C-alpha cells in the first residue's frame, strides 16, 4: 500500500523500517513519493536519532510542463497541427480555411511559420499544400517523455525551457539505509523517570529517550521595548558620551511665557494660533512666573519685565517688535509646542549659576520628550511627537562651531555630508535647517533645525553678553521611521500600533544603515 499524507510520524517510521527490511537503500522518490516532505523528514529524524536509520537529503531538479505544453501533449505542436490540417485537405487549404479548421489564431500563425521552416508545407497560389506525407512531431514526443519522467536530456530541457514550454523546479528527496541499531520494531522510549518506575524497578530495563540538545526552547513571553524607546536610548547614550546632561521635561503644560515669549515669539505669530497650538481650557491661565521653593532666589519679576520690554520697545541692542504686549496672552496655558520652552527655563537658571570665575559656566543640555502641535493627522504627522533638543552654552562660540558640532553629532548616526540652509526662528539668529542625503529616497531630507540664540533672549535672562548659546532640535520619529522602514507614523505611535511589531523588531543601531 502506498503511504499517504495522513499517516502519523510513528506509522511512517514503521513503514520506513519495513521497507528497509526488503532493500538496503531506498530513494524516497521511488517508494515514498506521495508522502509530504516534512512528514517523511520527521519520521527519518526520529529513526536517525536512535541510529536505526541513516539518511541523506538529495537536492534535484524536475521539469514541469507549462499549460501550453499540456496542450501540445494533448493536440500536438502548432506546426504539426497546421501540417495535419493542410495534409488532410487533399487539394490544399486557404489561410482562412486553415484558421477555421484549427480554431486558434496564434496556433495557426506560429504553426505555419514553423511548418514552412521545416519544409513540411509550401504556398501554391493562394493555397497551402503539403510537401511530405508524414512528419515526426518531435516536440510532442519530447514533452510526453517529460510528462511521465519529469526529466530529459539536458539540451532538450534547455531548449524547451527557452520556448517557455517547461519550467525547472528544485526537488528535495531522501536516500536512506539501515543504521547500526536497525530493527524492525520501534521500542517505546520513556521521556520521564517517574516515581512509579523507581518503585517498581522498571527503570532498569526501560529505554530512555536521549536528550536532544539541538531542540529549540519554547517561545518566552517577555516585555519588549518600543522602537521609539530604543532609538531614544541610543540618542541619550550619544548625548552622555558628548558631555551633555539631561533637562527635566516632565511638564507638558507650559505658559505662553515660557513656550513663546521668552523665546521672542511675538504674540501675533502664526505658531501661537489656535490652529497650531493646543490651549488649555481649565485652568486657562498660569500665575506670573515665580519661585517654586524657598531656595529659588531667581528674580522672576525682573525677567518678566525684561521680556515685556524686549517685545514692546526692544532692549539689549534690539529694537523689539513694537506692539502692545499683553500679559493675559503670556499667561495662557498651552500644551508645549516644543521642548525649547524647557531650554529657555534652563538658560534662565544658568544665569544665576557661578563657575570658578564667578560667571555662568559653559554647559551642555539635552532632552528627548513629547511635544504637541494642533496639526492635521496624516502619514507623517501626528498631534504629538517627540523632540530631541540640545543646548550648548559657552564663551566665544561661533556659527562654524555649531556646523562642526552638528556634523559630529549626526556623523555618529551615520549621517554625513550635511547641508545647511539658512532658516528663520524668532529666537535664533542665524538659524539653519540641516539636511542630509537619504540613500533610500535618493534626495536631501530635512533632519533638524538649529541656530544661535538671540542676545535679546539671553541678556533678558541676565546671561553675560559674551556668552553664546547654540540650540538645535529634531524629531525622534523621523530617524526611527527611517531605521525601522516605517512609512506611516501611525504604525509607530497611537492605537494603530501592532504589538507584534513592537515585540518582534530587533534593536537597531543608529550607525548601521
Ligand atoms: N524649537 C525648534 C528647534 C530648535 C531648538 C533650538 C534652537 C533652534 C531650533 C523646533 O521646534 O523645530
Q: Is residue 254 a part of any domain in this protein?
A: yes
420 Cα–ligand 1 center, Å: 15
Q: Which atom of ligand 1 is nearest to the CA of 338?
A: 11
Is residue 272 helix, strand or coil? helix
Q: Is residue 302 part of a domain?
A: yes
Q: Is 340 in the pocket of ligand 1 (CB under 6 A)?
A: yes
Instruction: Say whether both 123 and 241 belong to one domain.
Output: no
Strands (E), 426-500: 428-438, 443-453, 467-475
Residue 282 and residue 400 share a domain = yes
Atom number in ligand 1 closest to CA 343: 6
**Nearest CA owner, ligand 1 atom 2:** 473
Q: Are residues 352 and 462 in the same domain?
A: yes
Q: How far apart are the first and last CA of the chain?
A: 57
Residue of 374, 278, 385, 292 lying closest to 332 (CA atoms): 278
What's the gap in Å between 431 CA and the centre of ligand 1?
A: 9
Number of domains in the chain: 2
Ligand 1 binding pocket includes 386 (Cβ within 6 Å): no
Mention every residue, 6+ apart, whose C-beta is less than 8 A from residue 189: 50, 207, 208, 209
Q: Which of 111, 136, 161 is the last residue of a domain?
A: 136
Please, which residues have CB within 8 angstroms of residue 295's CB and are 6 or more apart in sequence? none
Answer yes or no: is the C-beta of 450 below 6 A from any ligand 1 atom.
yes
Asked if residue 448 has its Cβ within 6 Å of ligand 1, the reply is: no
Mean pLDDT for all residues in the chain: 91
CA of 387 to the centre of ligand 1 (A): 9
**Torsion angle of C-alpha atoms 253, 254, 260, 266, degrees rounded to 10:** 90
In a domain, 431, yes or no: yes
Q: With a cut of 80, say whether residue 441 has pLDDT above it.
A: no
Q: CATH code at 486?
A: 3.30.930.10
Question: Do 131 and 237 sit in the same domain of this protein?
Answer: no
The phi-psi region of residue 128 (left if phi > 0; otherwise alpha if psi is between -120 and 50; otherwise beta) is: beta
Contact 364, 242 (CB under 8 A): yes
Tell me if ipTM is over 0.95.
yes
CA–centroid distance, residue 288 to ligand 1 (Å): 25
What is d(CA 308, CA 460) in angstroms, rounded to the nearest whole number? 10
Q: What's the mean pLDDT in 158-186?
A: 92
- Whether the CB-CB separation of 47 and 53 falls below 8 Å is answered with yes
Residue 115 shares a structural domain with residue 257: no
Specify the pLDDT at position 437: 82
Q: What are the respective helix, strand and coil percentages of the chain, to the nearest 5?
A: 40, 20, 40
Which of 219, 194, 188, 218 lies closest to 46 in space, CA to CA?
Answer: 188
Q: Which of 258, 339, 469, 472 to mutate to test the pocket of ligand 1 (most atoms within 8 A of CB)?
A: 472
Q: Name every residue whose Cβ is closer than 8 Å to that of residue 143 and which is 6 or more positions away in sequence.
A: 65, 69, 72, 73, 160, 165, 166
- Pocket-testing residue among 472, 473, 475, 476, ligand 1, by greatest number of atoms within 8 A of Cβ: 473
Cα-to-centroid distance, 449 and ligand 1 (Å): 6
Q: Is residue 434 part of a domain?
A: yes
Report whether pLDDT(511) > 70: no
Separation CA 415–CA 235 (nearest Å) = 14
Q: Does residue 28 belong to any structural domain of this protein?
A: no
Do 368 and 261 fall into the same domain?
yes
Tell whether the model's pLDDT for residue 513 goes beyond 50.
Answer: no
* Closest residue by Cα to residue 45 from 12, 6, 7, 2: 12
Q: How many Cβ atoms are within 10 Å of 119's Cβ, its own excluded?
A: 9
DSSP 479-500: HHHHHHT---GGGTSSTT--HH
Assess whether the C-beta atom of 449 lies below 6 angstroms from ligand 1. yes
CA of 433 to the centre of ligand 1 (A): 10
Instruction: Tell me: do 129 and 233 sit in the same domain.
Output: no
Hey, what's the cell of 503? Answer: 515585540
Q: Do 126 and 272 have their domain in common?
A: no
From the list 453, 424, 449, the residue with the least C-alpha distance to 434 is 449
Residues listed for the chain: 513
The answer to whether residue 44 is domain-embedded is: no
Distance of alpha carbon 498 from alpha carbon 431, whole angstroms: 39
Would the pLDDT of 394 be above 90?
yes
User: Lowest-pLDDT range, 119-123, 154-158, 362-366, 509-513?
Assistant: 509-513
Going by CA atoms, what residue is nearest to atom 3 of ligand 1? 473
How many whole angstroms separate alpha carbon 100 and alpha carbon 501? 60
Q: Is the CB of 451 under 6 A from ligand 1?
A: yes
**Between the CA of residue 400 and those of 149, 232, 453, what are the distances in Å?**
75, 27, 15
CA of 388 to the centre of ligand 1 (A): 9
Mean pLDDT of 418-423: 96
pLDDT value at residue 443: 81
In sequence order, the β-bridge partners of residue 166 are 65
- Strand 419-425 to 428-438 pairing: antiparallel
Q: Residues 173, 28: contact at Cβ < 8 Å?
A: yes
Picking from 136, 168, 198, the residue at the C-terminal end of a domain is 136
CB 338 near ligand 1, within 6 Å: yes
The answer as to whether 100 is a domain residue is yes
**Closest residue (by CA) to atom 8 of ligand 1?**
450
Per-residue pLDDT, 4: 47
42 close to 9: Cβ distance less than 8 angstroms: yes
Q: Which atom of ligand 1 is nearest to the CA of 451?
A: 8
Q: Which grid coordinates belong to 220?
A: 518566552
Please determine, for residue 3, whether its predicted confidence score (pLDDT) is greater than 80.
no
Q: What residue numbers bound the domain in which 91 lies?
A: 83-136
Q: Of 136, 152, 168, which one is at a domain's C-terminal end?
A: 136
CA-371 nearest atom, ligand 1: 11
Q: How many CB atoms lie within 10 A of CB 167?
A: 13
Residue nearest to atom 11 of ligand 1 (CA): 338
Residues 6+ apart with CB under 8 A from 347: 391, 393, 453, 458, 461, 463, 469
Give 216 Cα–ligand 1 centroid separation in angstroms.
50
Ligand 1 atom nearest to CA at 449: 9
Q: How far is the CA of 338 from the centre of ligand 1 (A)?
A: 7
Query: What integer pLDDT is reported at residue 224 of this predicted model?
Result: 82
Q: What is the pLDDT of residue 314?
A: 95
- Locate the ligand 1 atom nearest the alpha carbon of residue 450 and give its number: 8
Q: Which of 340, 430, 457 to mutate to test the pocket of ligand 1 (most atoms within 8 A of CB)?
A: 340
C-alpha cell at 174: 531522501
Res. 211 pLDDT band, cuts 50 70 90: confident
- pLDDT confidence of residue 512: 41
Structure confidence by residue, pLDDT tens digits, 114-157: 999 999 999 988 899 999 999 999 999 999 999 998 899 999 99
207 to each of 11, 89, 440, how far by Cα in Å?
A: 20, 79, 59
Q: How confident is the model at residue 508 (pLDDT cuts 50, 70, 90)?
A: low
What atom in ligand 1 is closest to the CA of residue 391?
6
CA of 341 to the centre of ligand 1 (A): 10
Q: Is there a single domain that holds both residue 350 and residue 470?
A: yes
The pairing of beta strand 245-246 with beta strand 363-372? parallel
- Examine residue 200 and state whether it is found in any structural domain, yes or no: no
Is 425's C-beta closer than 6 angstroms to any atom of ligand 1? yes
Amino acid at each position: 500500500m502506498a503511504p499517504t499524507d495522513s499517516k502519523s510520524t510513528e506509522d511512517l517510521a514503521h513503514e520506513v523500517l519495513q521497507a528497509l527490511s526488503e532493500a538496503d537503500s531506498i530513494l524516497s522518490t521511488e517508494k515514498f513519493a506521495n508522502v509530504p516532505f516534512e512528514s517523511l523528514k520527521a519520521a527519518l529524524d526520529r529513526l536517525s536519532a536512535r541510529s536505526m536509520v541513516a539518511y541523506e537529503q538529495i537536492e534535484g531538479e524536475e521539469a514541469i510542463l507549462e499549460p501550453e505544453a499540456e496542450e501540445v501533449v494533448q493536440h500536438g505542436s502548432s506546426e504539426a497541427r497546421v501540417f495535419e490540417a493542410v495534409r488532410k485537405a487533399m487539394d490544399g487549404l486557404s489561410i482562412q480555411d486553415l484558421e477555421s479548421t484549427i480554431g486558434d489564431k496564434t496556433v495557426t500563425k506560429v504553426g505555419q511559420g514553423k511548418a514552412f521552416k521545416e519544409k513540411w508545407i509550401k504556398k501554391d497560389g493562394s493555397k497551402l499544400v503539403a510537401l511530405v506525407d508524414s512528419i515526426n512531431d518531435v516536440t510532442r514526443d519530447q514533452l510526453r517523455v517529460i510528462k511521465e519522467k519529469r526529466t530529459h536530456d539536458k539540451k532538450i530541457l534547455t531548449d524547451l525551457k527557452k520556448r517557455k514550454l517547461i519550467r525547472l523546479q528544485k526537488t528535495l528527496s531522501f536516500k536512506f539505509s539501515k543504521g547500526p541499531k536497525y530493527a524492525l520494531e520501534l521500542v517505546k522510549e520513556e521521556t520521564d523517570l517517574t516515581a512509579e518506575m523507581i518503585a517498581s524497578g522498571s527503570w532498569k530495563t526501560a529505554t530512555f529517550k536521549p536528550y536532544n540538545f539541538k531542540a529549540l526552547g519554547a517561545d518566552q513571553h517577555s516585555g519588549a521595548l518600543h522602537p521609539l524607546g530604543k532609538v531614544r536610548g541610543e540618542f541619550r547614550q550619544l548625548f552622555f558620551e558628548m558631555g551633555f546632561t539631561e533637562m527635566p521635561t516632565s511638564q507638558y503644560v507650559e505658559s505662553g511665557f515660557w513656550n513663546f515669549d521668552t523665546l521672542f515669539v511675538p504674540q501675533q505669530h502664526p505658531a501661537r494660533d489656535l490652529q497650531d497650538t493646543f490651549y488649555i481650557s481649565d485652568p486657562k491661565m498660569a500665575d506670573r512666573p515665580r519661585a517654586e521653593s524657598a531656595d529659588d532666589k531667581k528674580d522672576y519679576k525682573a525677567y518678566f519685565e525684561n521680556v515685556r520690554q524686549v517685545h514692546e520697545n526692544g532692549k539689549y541692542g534690539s529694537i523689539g517688535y513694537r506692539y502692545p504686549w499683553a500679559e493675559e496672552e503670556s499667561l495662557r496655558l498651552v500644551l508645549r509646542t516644543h521642548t525649547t520652552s524647557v531650554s529657555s527655563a534652563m538658560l534662565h537658571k544658568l544665569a544665576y549659576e557661578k563657575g570658578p570665575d564667578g560667571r555662568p559656566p559653559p554647559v551642555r543640555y539635552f532632552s528627548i520628550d513629547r511635544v504637541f502641535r494642533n496639526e492635521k493627522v496624516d502619514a507623517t504627522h501626528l498631534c504629538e511627537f517627540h523632540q530631541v533638543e540640545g543646548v550648548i552654552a559657552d564663551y566665544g562660540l561661533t556659527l562654524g562651531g555649531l556646523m562642526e558640532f552638528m556634523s559630529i553629532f549626526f556623523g555618529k548616526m551615520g549621517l554625513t555630508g550635511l547641508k545647511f540652509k539658512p532658516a528663520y526662528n524668532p529666537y535664533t539668529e542665524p538659524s539653519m535647517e540641516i539636511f542630509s542625503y537619504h540613500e533610500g529616497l535618493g534626495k536631501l531630507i530635512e533632519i533638524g533645525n538649529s541656530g544661535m540664540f538671540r542676545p535679546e533672549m539671553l541678556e533678558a535672562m541676565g546671561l553675560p553678553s559674551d556668552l553664546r548659546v547654540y540650540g538645535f532640535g529634531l524629531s525622534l520619529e523621523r530617524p526611527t521611521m527611517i531605521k525601522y522602514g516605517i512609512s506611516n507614523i501611525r504604525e509607530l505611535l497611537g492605537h494603530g500600533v501592532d504589538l507584534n511589531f513592537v515585540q518582534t523588531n530587533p534593536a537597531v543601531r543608529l550607525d548601521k544603515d
